[in-house]
A and B are shown apart, each in its own frame.
Chain A
């Protein structure tokens, strides 16, 4: 028998070059915002607190969405529950969420909670359906293997359902986050919170230069998050289920 083959590292930072590029991805947006603040005479602090607050809201909504989306997917992906639940989910995801905005404002007021609630409504569906897709693609033989070897309950979730759903979870998170950037700014403006990117864009809506810079800034942040967080996760998650 030959010696064990060298372990493949499905890790994206396996060269100095990658580390360097990643650092650039972090540094460039910061430099960009410094220049931005300098040119537009908006204080760096205002700029960063607005971005920071919006990012925190986004992060909270993101965590809620992936947990809730994943749990719903695992409960309802097959069996009798799915025939009832999936059409309901599909209807719910098609409901124009902004139409319900006045009710949420009535309930929570023009608060960050309202914003987060709407972000979750935008983000949860891609996560849910993408995880369901992952779960539906499971080969019959895997089910048979875990059934015959008696994997059940929590162990079934931990060693079977969770690993198979990770690629769907990451893909859903990427799509969901994409939809949610748009929803974030719109919701913040409509709800009328005082801080965040929405009010920022709103207050400079008659200044094309600042608006253009800010859009570019948001794009840079999205690019950086994707490059640093999601791309490596996507790579790794697919190697996880590779046979």
Chain B
């Protein structure tokens, strides 16, 4: 495997409105391997969402160097948001196809792609509804469909399940793993949920705050499908808990 995104000495400073500097990120070094499921884990305010936005190209005001693998471009990225970020005036179908019709006029094949994705994500029959008519879980399914429709090489997810109830979140985590296997893309996900990280990730970067930096990167070698009640799973959770709360 080769690296698809390389971050070297990434730093990011915010100024609050009194002009005081605040180091959100400092000396972050990170390599994302192609095809892996990578999780950034850390408490609120440790800069993990900021790092995700820098990696995805949404935030370009940072110091340090960022390299994408040759042939990989921002166009190959997609993003799933914590609060879904579906456009309320577009239907489910239009939202899911946003990345396609932004680029060109929708072809018959695009429409087939979108309706196929909506079917896969259990949204068949909802394509002409508006986001306000959907539950939180269904909105995030649309968010995931939108991210997959562009056939991304890298999919970024910013705490995608934290706004959902635990039953929905559990179901969607499983579906995400199935889709990851099917689409063979690289996934970079931010979470503050340790069990979620252990359940999903190949590698987990533990971040600490003030300034936000990467404390450790752990390889998660638990065999898939992972049993969240197995002793190995608990051992991994304990290890991460110790690192996060250190």
Contact = CB atoms under 8 A, between A and B. Distances in A.
Contacts of A4: 125-126, 129
A233 B99 CA distance: 30
B98 A145 contact: yes
Interface string B74-112: 110111011101111110000000110111000000000
Give the interface residue-count category, chain B: 20 to 34
B122 interface: yes
Nearest to B90: A159
Contacts of A151: 98, 102
B133 A144 contact: no
Nearest to B149: A149
Interface in A133-184: 139, 141-142, 144-152, 155, 159-160, 163
B66 to A, nearest CB: 16
A181 B81 CA distance: 46
Contact of B58 (A147, A159, A240, A241): A147
A241 B85 CA distance: 12
A148 B129 contact: no
A148 B133 contact: no
Interface string B40-79: 0000000000000100111000000000000000110111
B89 A241 contact: yes
A141 B102 contact: no
Given A5-B129, A144-B53, A144-B58, A150 B75 contact: yes
B56 A145 contact: no
Interface of B: 53, 56-58, 74-75, 77-79, 81-83, 85-90, 98-99, 101-103, 122, 124-126, 129, 131-133, 146, 150
Interface of A: 1, 3-5, 7-8, 139, 141-142, 144-152, 155, 159-160, 163, 239-243
